[in-house]
Amino acid sequence: MITIHGMQDSGNCYKPRLLMALLGKPFHHVEVDSLDGSTRRPAFLALNPIAKVPVLELEDGRTLPESNAILAYLGEGSAFVPADPFERATMLSWMFFEQYSHEPNVAVRHSLLVYPSRKAQATPERLAETLDGGNKALAVMETALTRSNWLVGDAPTLADIALYAYTHVADQGGFDLAAYPGIRAWLSRIEALPGYQPMTWLPGT
């Protein structure tokens, strides 16, 4: 059985857990706290030299880091990956958007405000910068989701899972989701998918 090494309350670590829940596939979870130095211990560095979670560990011992790369591997051949080449590339473009435009603002601001260990980094300038950048990213999503139920095509894809992870807790980072009715309706559609589990869920619970 595969193992996902990750931090329960991390959105990036939630992505592969959510996909596995939606696919109805079993896996082991190993809790690794990225805030207490656990990712810099030799045992973890042997899994991922860049000292970040999540990490996927296959039955044969091979490992794969980076949340969206893990989604691509786990989602291969599933309904969450479009068969049409253009739609599949569009899905990837949203996943790149998540890592380069959304996560550095929405997720980072969430982290600065939620984790006490990040308090020193939560300067007024940093909070203002991430609030502005996050709202710009959310506005891009809002435009797309007022035109369609999903980010790509007529069904949920890996792009929706990737962007759901931190968007659904954006309010904890000070973002007003009331300003984004298209996003709020989209969040509800994802939460209504068969097999959906919240971020607090771990296999066996």
Return the residue matching tokens 């970040």. Answer: 52
Confidence of residue 34 (pLDDT cuts 50, 70, 90): confident
Same domain? 93 vs 129: yes
The answer to whether 18 and 25 have CB atoms below 8 angstroms apart is: no
Per the structure, the complete domain to which residue 26 belongs is given by 3-75
**Mean pLDDT score, 88-109:** 97
**Mean pLDDT score, 83-90:** 98
Residue at 200 is within a domain: no
The answer to whether 202 and 17 have CB atoms below 8 angstroms apart is: yes
Confidence of residue 37 (pLDDT cuts 50, 70, 90): confident
pLDDT per position as a tens digit, 116-145: 888 899 999 999 999 999 999 999 999 999
The dihedral sign for the CA sequence 127, 128, 133, 139: positive
The whole-number pLDDT of residue 117 equals: 86
Same domain? 90 vs 145: yes
Same domain? 93 vs 157: yes
The dihedral sign for the CA sequence 172, 174, 175, 179: positive
Q: State whether residue 57 is helix, strand or coil.
A: strand
Number of domains in the chain: 2
Same domain? 19 vs 103: no
**Mean pLDDT score, 169-173:** 97
The whole-number pLDDT of residue 200 equals: 96
